[in-house]
Structure 1
């Protein structure tokens, strides 16, 4: 009998979030599962790691059948590092992160703790996928997202993910029957037009709430934003080599001896 794949599951919304519970249930249908996730929400942490304080790791039992689950006091990237170095006795066959409550498409991948956990696994040579559902509601319906996650996960295990590539999967907030399919896309060029809502405490001290509006500057029909707006799941291959190779030749024309 074929050996079951070892699947590491993590997220940034916290180990009790409905999104990760949904992803764990999918993973258990396919392989042996180990969960290491933050003990509290870590959204927007990006690829932060803990270096100036201690980390705590606790063996927890969230569901009746949960055995290999650990909550971590650190960031999503910390969770993956601890899983690899302190918990697992072998490298997992794949790491899956999510299912995030909210979008991680386009420029959001830069800020995403969900994707940073997946990228940390990728850096360690582990195939990895981040999953996000475009619904920020804590009690979102993950029925369609679970089906998508199962399909993508099975394909990744069967075909393999290219070396040094991590998959960023975003799922539109529509019913399972209304999803038109899955599209492999490029990341749309977009940004946030940010504002700070300045307020004062009763003691007169200023404080700020970050607000903003997402602005899609990309009109291409091959982007993740186009796919999501038109009822498709987007799959974007992400690389963690940030070198702008196309710019090297131009920069070599500069006179650095001046």
Structure 2
């Protein structure tokens, strides 16, 4: 591209989170940045959108000279508002993150970070969700920046197939310990949930969700394998949830007898 690309930056941890501040600094080296992000943490919101209450948006200054808008809604709301109300033209790319914590494997379906990227994909905007395998609010993102920049520039240069966005997870390792970038498939894994039941002083029961992540997938081409072995994982994902491989089988059912 000859002109600097227009880059929409969002996240689910909130507009002041260290992860998004680092992502903004990287994107400012690549193009013209506009930030539209939640005003408070919206983790694990999935693809929720705001329908039954009002949305509020405020132009703010956090750091740097890029335009920034703080939104009361979800990550998907942020992308919708950016495209329809804020940006004067369609962005060349949308980047979401850098998330504090993993969005590999099954986590992708719960992720607000990835839902923002997928919302951009629905709008035919190339998009990437970035996540670091460190849930600490004060996580060190410095070792991520070269990988984030490389992948973003490659998407801008090569584009993405229609309806496809990238789910990028970065291992929590020193830069020199990261072996490289691997294109992967999503591992077959899930959470075995447990609920910690407690009773408040008023005698009312309440629950805390907990659980254990279980990886049933032994393949060496998965995101979980790549991360465990020191690679950045890149999984192409799409919002078409059709199980295409099941259509032929279902067509053998006697549904219209």
Describe the SS at the equivalent of 2:29.
helix
Deviation at 1:203, TM superposition (A): 1.0
Alignment pair present for 1:234 and 2:233: yes
Structure 1 runs, 4 residues or longer, greater than 2 Å off: none
For 1:217-232, list aligned pairs within 5 A.
Answer: 217-232=216-231
1:61 paired residue number: 61
User: 1:163-210: per-residue Cα shift (whole Å, max 9, x none)?
Assistant: 110000000000011000000000000000000000010111000000
> 3-12 or 154-163: which moved more?
154-163
Equivalent pairs, count: 257
> Where does residue 15 of structure 2 map in the other structure?
15
Quote the residue 1:51 is aligned against. Answer: 51
**C-alpha distance in 2 between matches for 1:147 and 1:212:** 34
**What SS is found at the alignment partner of 1:98?**
strand
Unaligned runs of 5+ in 1: none
Question: Following TM superposition, by how much is the alpha carbon of 1:239 offset from its aligned partner in structure 2, in angstroms?
Answer: 1.1
- Cα distance in 1 for partners of 2:159, 2:256 equals 46
Distance 2:161 2:220 in 1: 24
Which secondary structure state, in structure 2, belongs to the residue aligned with residue 214 of structure 1? strand
**Can you list the C-alpha shifts for 1:229-248, whole angstroms capped at 9, x where unaligned?**
00000000001111111111
Counterparts of 1:67 and 1:163, CA distance in 2: 29
Does 2:193 correspond to 1:180?
no
When the two structures are superposed, what TM-score results if normalisation uses the length of structure 2? 0.99
Give the Cα–Cα distance (whole angstroms) in 2 for the partners of residues 23 and 243 of structure 1: 32
Which 5+ residue runs of structure 2 have no aligned equivalent?
none
Please tell me the root mean square deviation across aligned C-alpha atoms, in Å.
0.9
| Number of the residue aligned with 2:36 | 36
The aligned runs of 1:147-186 (5 Å cut-off) are 147-186=146-185
- Secondary structure of the structure 2 residue equivalent to 1:30: coil
TM superposition shift of 1:146: 1.5
